[in-house]
Amino acid sequence: MLIILLGPPGAGKGTQAENIVKDYNLVFISTGDILRAAVKEDKALGRKAKQYMDQGSLVPDELVVEIVKDRLRDPDCQNGALFDGFPRTVEQAKFLDDALPEIGSKVDGVLSIEVDEDELIERLTGRRVCSKCNAVYHLKFNPPEVRNVCDQCGGDLYQRDDDSLETVKERLAVYKKQTEPLVSFYKEKDVLYPVDGNEDIGSVYKQIRAVLDKL
């Protein structure tokens, strides 16, 4: 079973991915991880990718897909895999669709976790981090006992630059432009399964299980 997990920053993909790979015995595949692994293992494809990475250039979609395809041939992927963060664009999705039949595979389902933008902004901008022990809090979902003071060590809490309202809005805009078209792409292929991500973690996972149990 090959599953793709889509969703904007703040949708909770990481938490849901952990549950999916554990309960369905799937391998979690991040293209960043497998690119670094291919380079470290000095594979032929990894050496090609390294040339682009050393120049600070993006690795071409065709090469990324070849490395993904090579990873899916590994024995631990026999039961299937879960992709998070890949494909990022419709072009990558098309390359992937063309490559998978060569290894007797296909995309079985695409889970699209959908969350209202106002909710995403609240989730992402509400995070606070301790300046001393790096403990993480959230102003709404996991607030400290004393405002802006860490429960564990008494350190000051601060908002990271990438959690600022301006940065969060930019991240969401990039997702909408680059990745959201994948929703339409996979909907046309009849493999898209929308998931209401506005609910709590358990309710979201219940929706996901209902989809995966039918695939």
Could you confirm whether 147 is annotated as catalytic?
A: no
160 is catalytic: yes
Please pick, among 36, 48, 69, 88, the residue that the annotation labels catalytic.
Answer: 88
Look at the pTM and tell me if it is higher than 0.95: no
Q: Is 128 annotated in the active site?
A: no
CATH number attached to the domain at 2-26+79-212 = 3.40.50.300
* pLDDT for residue 32: 82
Share of residues in the chain with pLDDT > 90 (%):
79
Query: HSE-up of 144 (CA within 13 Å, CB side)?
Result: 21
| pLDDT recorded at residue 2 | 96
Which among 73, 160, 177, 189 is annotated as catalytic?
160
pLDDT at 190: 97
Q: For residue range 112-152, list pLDDT tens digits in order.
A: 999 999 999 999 999 999 999 999 999 998 999 999 999 99
User: What pLDDT was estimated at residue 39?
Assistant: 87
Q: Which residue has the higher pLDDT, 179 or 185?
A: 185
User: Is the pLDDT confidence value at 31 over 90?
Assistant: no
For the chain, the maximum distance between any two Cα atoms, rounded to a whole number of angstroms, is: 58
Q: What pLDDT score does 38 carry? A: 86
Note the pLDDT of residue 35.
86
Which residue out of 71, 123, 127, 128 is catalytically annotated? 127
Q: What pLDDT is stored for residue 46 in this prediction?
A: 87
- Whether 209 is a known active-site residue: answer no
Catalytic residue among 13, 71, 123, 128: 13
Rounded to 5 degrees, φ, ψ at 7 are 160, 145
Percent of the chain past pLDDT 70, that is, above it, reads 100
Q: Which of 43, 94, 169, 171 is catalytic?
A: 171
Q: Identify the pLDDT of residue 19.
A: 95
pLDDT surpasses 90 at 180? no
